[in-house]
Amino acid sequence: MDRVKDKIIVITGAASGLGLADATVLTREGAHVIMTDIDPEAGQTHANNLDATFIQQDVSEEASWQHLMAEVETRFGRLDGLVNNAGIAPIANIENTSTEIWRRVLSIHLDATFWGCQSAIKLMKHNGGGSIVNMSSTAALIGLGPYLAYSAAKGGIRSMTKSIAIHCRMEGLGIRCNSVHPGSISTPMVHTALKTLMGTDLMAEEDPEATRIAMGIGEPEDVANMVLYLLSDESKHVTGAEMVVDNGDTVI
Ligand SMILES: NC(=O)c1ccc[n+]([C@@H]2O[C@H](COP(=O)([O-])OP(=O)(O)OC[C@H]3O[C@@H](n4cnc5c(N)ncnc54)[C@H](O)[C@@H]3O)[C@@H](O)[C@H]2O)c1
């Protein structure tokens, strides 16, 4: 209990899946969480249930970051953690990815993570440090054929994270920056992928839990527990690291 007690933490894309699991675990461990999402209804409902704060945000809009950080500073006076989690995963390979899809995916993942890190560091510097977690994917490590833009964006997030970590260390900012690389985790994003690519409707299975386990798909809390560790002071010697949460998928 209280592993992140009284920390002020922003999570993007927190109305669903991994972001929502992060918010649930971090709140339970004593943080005050600011949940942001493009979906105001789900975001506000979940924030009310968790006694968290909700702020609507489209992470691919640069101005949304200035607005968000100004709100955080005014309401809470500081920022201890940021999880750059919001994402989309359109299925499109090198032959059928349009320029529009390419730009949209890079904007939501890569531009947003850049703006998020830059604006968070500005605020975290005031209170002598903080921890940033960038949600990447095993797609950054192996490349996924049906996900061209997504693989490129997640690879960019991986190396951007290391650049930020080293800068913060060299400047003595007390800010750590790490990336998390989940394999397949049971969220709406993966349920859509399973239906489209494999014809499997996980949630319509007679026993979805047994099927999930049989297919080697993880639970959102498996990732949230890693995020919790990286935002807590337990990981004070960990920066620039790529934390893989994939049950060994990239090893075998
Ligand atoms: N589920 C997995 O297996 C898996 C694996 C590796 C990486 N990831 C990454 O984890 C993150 C969360 O994925 P998830 O599986 O929970 O997906 P999800 O679809 O359940 O949730 C994504 C959330 O992001 C929000 N969002 C989308 N576009 C946005 C925007 N422009 N601005 C703000 N919010 C926006 C959505 O409204 C949604 O609430 C993503 O970055 C994804 O790439 C997921």
Residue-range domain boundaries for the chain: 8-183+218-244
* Two structure tokens written together for 202: 């996980």
For ligand 1, atom 41, which residue shows the shortest CA distance? 87
Pocket probe for ligand 1: among 10, 11, 12, 16, the residue whose CB has the most ligand atoms within 8 Å is 16
Q: Please name the residue whose Cα sits nearest to atom 1 of ligand 1.
A: 185
Q: Which CATH class is domain 8-183+218-244?
A: alpha beta
- Rounded to the nearest whole angstrom, what is the distance from the C-alpha of residue 8 to the centroid of ligand 1? 21
Average pLDDT along the chain: 97
Residue 180 is predicted with a pLDDT of 99
The H or E element containing residue 9 is strand 8-12
Whether the CB-CB separation of 21 and 227 falls below 8 Å is answered with no
Residue with tokens 């359109």: 90
* Predicted local confidence at residue 197, as pLDDT: 95
pLDDT in tens, 86-130: 999 999 999 999 999 999 999 999 999 999 999 999 999 998 999
Residue with CA closest to ligand 1 atom 31: 58
Q: Out of 150, 153, 226, 230, pick the active-site residue.
A: 150
CA of 120 from ligand 1 middle (Å) equals 20
In SS3 terms, 190-212 reads as HHHHHHHHHCCCHHHCCCHHHHH
Nearest CA residue ID for atom 32, ligand 1: 58
Nearest to 181 by CA among 222, 138, 151, 220: 138
Residue 147 bears catalytic tag: no
pLDDT at 167 (0 to 100): 98
Q: Taking residues 11-39, report their average pLDDT.
A: 98
Q: What is the pLDDT of residue 186?
A: 97
Confidence label for 252 from pLDDT (cuts 50, 70 and 90) = confident
Q: Which amino acid is at 131?
A: S
Model confidence over 140-176: pLDDT tens digits?
999 999 999 999 999 999 999 999 999 999 999 999 9
| pLDDT for the residue 67 | 98
Tell me the sheet residues that pair with 12. 36
Can you tell me the distance from the alpha carbon of 119 to that of 121, in angstroms, rounded to the nearest whole number? 6
pLDDT at 1 over 90: no
pLDDT cut 90: percent of the chain above it: 98
**Residue entry with tokens 């979805």:** 208
d(CA 246, CA 137): 9
Tokens for 154, please give them. Answer: 């997640």
Average pLDDT over residues 175-202: 96
Q: What's the pLDDT score for residue 87?
A: 98
Compute, in angstroms, the gap from residue 16 CA to the centroid of ligand 1.
Answer: 7
**Model confidence pLDDT, tens digit, residues 91-100:** 999 999 999 9
